Amino acid sequence: MHFAFTEEEELIRDSARKLATERLAPLAETLDRGEGRAEFLANLKLLAENGFMALNIQAGFGGSEAGTVAFALALEELAAACASTAVTTSVTNMVGEAIQAVGSSEQQAEYLPKLADGTYPAGAFCLTEAGAGSDPAGMKLRARRDGDTYVLDGEKIFITSGEYAGLFVVWGVTNPDAPKGKGISVFLVPADTPGVSVGKAEKKMGQTGSATNTIRFEGARIPVEALMGKENDGFRVAVGELAGGRIGVASVSLGIARAAMDAAKSYARERKQFGQALTEFQGLQWLIADRELDLHASRLLILDAAAKKDRGEPFAKEASMAKLFASEAAHRCTDAAIQIHGGAGYCRDFPVERYARDARITRIYEGTSEIQRLIIARETLRQLG
């Protein structure tokens, strides 16, 4: 097995690290206080200009064509500096990949360049509803055919980038009489469509720089050409795109975990107790060793899933394994980082408490840890025949 990155993958990783260090990291604390929105949007534009909003999109549409491994490497670097920016980047890439996978040639030509070059600050993935979180097939948003249009009525919640996204990928029920999950379609809806409104931003525990909103559709009329793929085939699209998104969340988790442990190791080298540095104590050394295992195992799981996706092989199980392990490892790493800092780690003078808050959501969004275990078990048992 050849565990080496291509020259392009290394270049993208290094470019992401440079941008993250110079532009994202200095703003992260400000965003955590609920400030710096203009600078945040400027950073999103800069990331787009450097190819990070369309990493797996064809060059003909303005994309980087870098692949999923490069996507994972880039997101880890971005998340180590600012998880809020990284998750926005991840979701925007998801939107682009969904359009590239099942959109018409007209949809691809219309929307992919605007995501790639930052014309749209971000894209948003409108799937979750109040009664359809872990069970997205239970959605209620209605997409009713009316002549040469569809009329959307309903509400989506917890939508990342909702208030500044330029384009929504929206799932709705087109055949309410079909069996559960069989009558769902997916549409491309520009944010300025009449009848579409953005609700308040949620007041969140972490990743506060990334807006999370309710999106309401009240008689929102869109042309039939807004349908992406086949009518009543949208749930299959959602399942496929969520699998790819889990590689993104796993990479964000790893970036947060790595940043936390880097901070903890630096602090432990400098902090002295009983006349010696904390790093001289065996108990702390073992704690660091265990968390180093978490980081390395997370990275290997992520890259395995990403490489399979790039090769066109089935990767849903591997993506769920990477997302589950990396998100739970991020919890362990951020908790350990606070413990190593002692009381200082509980104070906002040090970034590790922010890392812990940012990490918590990774075990929930893009499918909870419980759902990932169900997927892994289902795929494992299915492979037995």
Cβ within 8 Å of residue 234, ≥6 positions away: 171, 172, 174, 184, 185, 186, 228
CA–CA separation, 230 and 237 (whole Å) = 10
Q: Is 225 a catalytic residue?
A: no
CA–CA separation, 358 and 168 (whole Å) = 24
Nearest CA to 121 out of 48, 15, 194, 216 is that of 48
Structure tokens at 358: 């940012």
Q: Is 273 helix (H, G, I), strand (E, B) or coil?
A: strand
From the list 76, 110, 366, 370, the catalytic residue is 366
CA–CA separation, 7 and 312 (whole Å) = 21
Cβ within 8 Å of residue 325, ≥6 positions away: 250, 297, 298, 301
Residues 156-178: b if buried by 16+ CB within 10 A, e if exposed: bbbbbbbbbbbbbbbbbbbeeee
Q: Please give the single-letter amino acid code of residue 159.
A: I
Structure tokens at 350: 């040090």
In sequence order, what are the beta bridge partners of 156? 215
Q: Is 97 helix (H, G, I), strand (E, B) or coil?
A: helix
Q: What are phi and psi of 26, to 5 degrees?
A: -65, -20
CA–CA separation, 249 and 92 (whole Å) = 13
φ/ψ bin of 120: left (φ > 0), alpha (ψ from -120 to 50), beta (otherwise) = beta
Task: With beta carbons less than 8 A apart as the criterion, state whether 322 and 301 touch.
Answer: yes
Task: With beta carbons less than 8 A apart as the criterion, state whether 57 and 100 touch.
Answer: yes
Supply the residues annotated as catalytic.
Answer: 366
